[in-house]
């Protein structure tokens, strides 16, 4: 009986852990929820995270190195866009948005070029408590000053729920064709992998103990 009870507990724990994961699976113009995998590259690791800081999978998730059958969304500079998940973000940690200009078509681009960050949803500290933006949709605007062209638009959830363990990256890459852009050169830029270090305080943070400030890993946010 003890063995059966242990097995049931293990299965229940595994199911709970799996259900706690999530996938960025749709991208749309404006605030709509979009069509699953129409403009977002389909990953092949279901809802498992990426944890290897040296892996190219940090760019667009496992299986997302190229666009495959993914379409490219037309957006104008300054337009709002929305990423939608299969379920709301469950793990505490920052949400970040990155962009990388493709040398040609977004569908053929592997993300090995320069990336710049356009937004962080960092924790908000109030009364000794931290609150995170944990939703099933994330809406922001394309910078109005960046050049026209095709881009990878990347969203990242860095899960910090396992102090002393390895933080987890949940990633999705959309493909966009930007029109009406400007002439700014976004900076700072970073390579992925390479943007995140195991020594970054925002990567090693213990969110359960003496947690009263936080620096999101990666480059600072570019603003027009």
What are the residue boundaries of the structural domains of the chain, listed by start? 22-204
pLDDT for residue 68: 82
Output the CATH code of domain 22-204: 2.70.50.70
**For the chain, how far is it from start to end, CA to CA, in angstroms?**
64
Contacts of 182 (CB under 8 A, 6+ apart): 77, 144, 145, 146, 147, 224
Residues of 90-122 as b/e, b for ≥16 C-beta within 10 angstroms? ebbbbbbbbbbbbeeebbebebeebbbbbbbbb
Task: Tell me the per-residue pLDDT of 40-67, one tens digit each, with 9 for 90 and over.
Answer: 999 999 999 999 999 999 999 999 999 9
Whether the pLDDT of residue 183 is over 70: the answer is yes
Q: What band does 164 get if pLDDT is binned at 50, 70 and 90? A: confident
What is the Cβ-side half-sphere exposure of residue 34, based on CA atoms within 13 angstroms?
28
pLDDT for residue 165: 86
Average pLDDT of the chain, as a whole number: 92
Residues of 52-78 as b/e, b for ≥16 C-beta within 10 angstroms? ebeebbbbbbbebbebeebbbbebebe
95-101/124-126 β-pairing:
unpaired
């Amino acid at each position: 009986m003890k063995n059966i009870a242990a097995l049931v507990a293990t299965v229940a724990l595994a199911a709970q852990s799996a259900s706690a994961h999530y996938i960025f699976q749709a991208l749309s113009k404006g605030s709509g929820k979009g069509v699953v995998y129409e403009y977002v590259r389909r990953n092949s690791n279901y809802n498992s995270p990426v944890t290897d800081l040296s892996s190219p999978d940090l760019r667009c998730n496992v299986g997302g190195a190229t666009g495959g059958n993914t379409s490219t969304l037309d957006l104008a500079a300054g337009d709002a866009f929305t990423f939608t998940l299969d379920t709301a973000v469950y793990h505490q940690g920052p949400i970040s948005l990155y962009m990388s200009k493709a040398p040609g078509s977004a569908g053929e681009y592997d993300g090995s070029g320069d990336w710049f960050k356009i937004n962080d949803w960092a924790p908000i500290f109030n009364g000794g408590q931290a609150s995170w933006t944990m939703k099933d949709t994330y809406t922001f605007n394309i910078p109005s000053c960046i050049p026209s062209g095709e881009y990878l638009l990347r969203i990242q959830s860095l899960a910090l729920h396992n102090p002393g363990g390895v933080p987890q990256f949940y990633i999705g890459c959309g493909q966009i064709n930007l029109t009406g852009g400007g002439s700014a050169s976004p900076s700072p830029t970073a390579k992925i992998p390479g943007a995140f270090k195991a020594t970054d305080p925002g990567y090693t943070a213990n969110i359960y103990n003496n947690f009263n400030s936080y620096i999101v890993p990666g480059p600072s946010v570019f603003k027009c």
